[in-house]
Amino acid sequence: MKNSKIEGIINEIIDQYCYADKSERPWIIGFSGGKDSTVLLTLVWEALLRIRALPNPFQLRRPIYVVCNDTMVENPIITEYVFDVLKKIEKAAKEQDLPIIVKTTTPRLEDSFWVNVLGKGYPVPNNVFRFCTEKLKIKPTSQFIIEQINENGEAIVLIGTRIDESATRAKSIKKHQIIGKRLSKHPLNPNTYTYAPIINLLLEEVWYIINSHPSPWGFDNSKLFQIYADASADDYECPTVVTDKSHSSCGQSRFGCWVCTVVKEDKSMSSLINNGTQWLKPLLDYRNELVKGRNISENRRPERRNGQIAVDETGHNQGNYTDLYRATMLRKLLETQKKVQETKPHIELITSQELIAIQVTWYRDGIFDFKVSDIYSNVYGREITIDNMKYKEKIILEDVCKQNPNDYQIINDLLSIQKSKTLLINNYGLQTDIENRLMNYIKEEN
């Protein structure tokens, strides 16, 4: 690459990989598909190609994991783009005989966004209550790092952090940085170090690499540039160094979850819609409705899940979402999904596994007035298999329970609880859930 600063970074990566570190502890690159992680992987890839050309190519011994964390609520534009990129990376690494392994992490089912919000009734995140970062991002990646540590003793995480990004990021880097050392202790994971090769790159240099250096895994970098251009809300991060007349404006877009309610306004999604991606409009509308409905007292219970009273001095409820609100927003989410699928049939905003987990959670919370299967069939006009009994079995049970129709409902509910647990391949809490339902039934009868 015709830039002394960039050449210096590549040479440093070669030195760290081959000589500075005599161990074979793996490198883990957090890959989001954004500009910084793309540049980081590009420079590491270039370093590996040069190492392979050395007299001792056996030095390509250290595995490098390209780890992409899928929160399951990422902006669909980015999800599609990253999926295509990861396929290219995996294929090219094999063809070029490089020790690069692609891994994708996802949150545990019980930690997913929709199970927490629509299942457990957690209010959507804001700056004060921000469960999403821990559950959707940190835990899945940390689990992968821990697995590598258990196998290899230690691991090095390569991050695409840059001082030039923001004052907050620069302050965080300074806090953890060890002067004169390339590696710093990971702030969360034991036996883990961080390495930030592009820490001193400027924004213009990042875009210079993307626009002037062909992707070593054979992807078209102009697609990434175009995504940033379409999602630009202003010109804060526009590159001043361009290599083509079409490189006009890339914006300061920060891509994340399409349901993100921490920010006041999703500028990147709004800009994508304004630039022609109209099928995203239902997603933005739903996200905005989540924001508006968050602090409405009628949508919230007067207590939290642990039973703690959650009512402020004005009488405003601040607990978890009510049964009705959870069911209403699930219906609206499925309606949003159905609308989007008219244009993008493959897009799934909520998985079948999450729907089942939501039903399990509702049973555990004693919610039997609403059924996930009923909501789904009302929206899609077809059944989703969650209940335990088939049609003929229901007819027989109804006949047996003619003298007391309530018996039919309690038996159906208990069978549904058992079936949901079976589908989750997890019987944890089954006895408690059944006992709670029976106790509620006794109270209702009395």
Separation of alpha carbons 77 and 346, rounded Å = 12
3-state helix, strand, coil in the chain (%, to 5): 50, 10, 40
Predicted confidence at residue 74, as pLDDT, reads 92
Q: Report pLDDT digits (tens) over 59-109.
A: 788 999 999 999 999 999 998 899 999 999 999 999 999 999 999 999 999
Burial class for 168, CB neighbours closer than 10 Å (0-12, 13-18, 19+): exposed
- Amino acid 433: pLDDT: 67
Closest CA to 397 of 378, 413, 373: 413
Is the model's pLDDT at 27 over the cut of 70? Answer: yes
Residue indicated by tokens 């050395």: 54
C-alpha 186/C-alpha 148 separation (Å) is 14
The distance between the two most distant Cα atoms of the chain, rounded to a whole number of Å, is 87
pLDDT at 57 over 70: no
Residue 443 has a pLDDT of 73
pLDDT digits (tens, 9 = 90+) for 355-413: 989 998 998 898 999 999 999 999 999 887 554 444 445 556 666 676 676 776 677 66
Q: Which residues of 91-117 are buried (b: 16+ CB within 10 A; e: fewer)?
A: ebbeeeebebebbebebebbbbbbbbb
pLDDT tens string 305-321: 989 999 999 999 999 99
Would you kindly state where each structural domain of the chain is located, as residue ranges? 4-109+127-219, 351-446
Least confident interval from 122-131, 149-158, 199-208, 246-255: 246-255
Taking the C-alpha atoms of residue 202 and residue 40, their distance in angstroms, rounded to an integer, is 13
Going by pLDDT thresholds of 50, 70 and 90, the confidence category of residue 16 is very high
Beta strands in 173-224 (DSSP E): 183-185, 192-195
Which pTM was predicted?
A: 0.78
The tokens for 336 are 């949003």
- Phi and psi angles of residue 212, each rounded to the nearest 5 degrees, phi first: -110, -20
User: How is domain 4-109+127-219 classified at the architecture level of CATH?
Assistant: 3-Layer(aba) Sandwich (3.40)
pLDDT in tens, 203-255: 999 999 999 999 999 999 999 999 888 886 543 343 333 333 333 333 344 56
Mean pLDDT of all residues belonging to the chain: 84
**Pairwise CA distance, residues 445 & 434, whole Å:** 17
